[in-house]
Amino acid sequence: MFRLSKCSKTFMKLSGCFSEMPDKLKTAPADEIFLALQPYLVVILATFGPFRIMFGSDWPVCTVGVDDAWKKWRQIVARFCDLASLSKEEQIMIWSGTAIRAYGITELI
């Protein structure tokens, strides 16, 4: 992961999680899932940093076997931003800024 983060022009999308979890964790409350993922999220934050991390939902795959998957995943990422004490600017990058920059989106409404 460290070597990957050293490559130029690479960004990390925080998605695709539920499909890799066992059913027990999938149906657990958001807080519990967050705790299980925390070590991995920390490594990604330390290597890529908020300016190269973007939110992603992995929709519709994320909905398989998970109720309210989108809401749940959003809560997990929000909790992560909160606990990592990310500034407003850094949080904006994760929710939208990184994606706008990485994909080169110019035609915003």
Partner 1 sequence: MEVDWLKRIALGTPKAGEGHTSEHKNLCLAIIRWAPVPSGAKVLERYVDEVEKHAEGSFGKIKGFRYLLQDKPKGTMLQEGFIEGLKWLGKKGFVFDLGVDQHNGGKWQLEEAVEMIEKAHEGVDEQEKVTFIISEFSFYVGPQIW
Binding positions for partner 1, rule: CB under 8 A = 1, 3-4, 7-17, 19-22, 25, 36-37, 39-40, 43-44, 54, 56, 58, 99, 102-105, 107-109
Shortest Cβ 4–partner 1 spacing (Å): 6
Q: Which is nearer to partner 1, 22 or 67 (CB)?
A: 22
d(CA 70, CA 93): 19
- C-beta atoms surrounding 59 within 10 Å: 11
Shortest Cβ 24–partner 1 spacing (Å): 10
Q: Which is nearer to partner 1, 8 or 85 (CB)?
A: 8
Strand partners, 54: 13
- C-beta atoms surrounding 94 within 10 Å: 24
Shortest Cβ 83–partner 1 spacing (Å): 17
Shortest Cβ 13–partner 1 spacing (Å): 5
Residue 16 has φ and ψ, to the nearest 5°, of 80, 25
Q: Which is nearer to partner 1, 13 or 86 (CB)?
A: 13
CA 42 to chain CA mean position, Å: 11
CA 12-32-69 angle, to 5 degrees, is 60
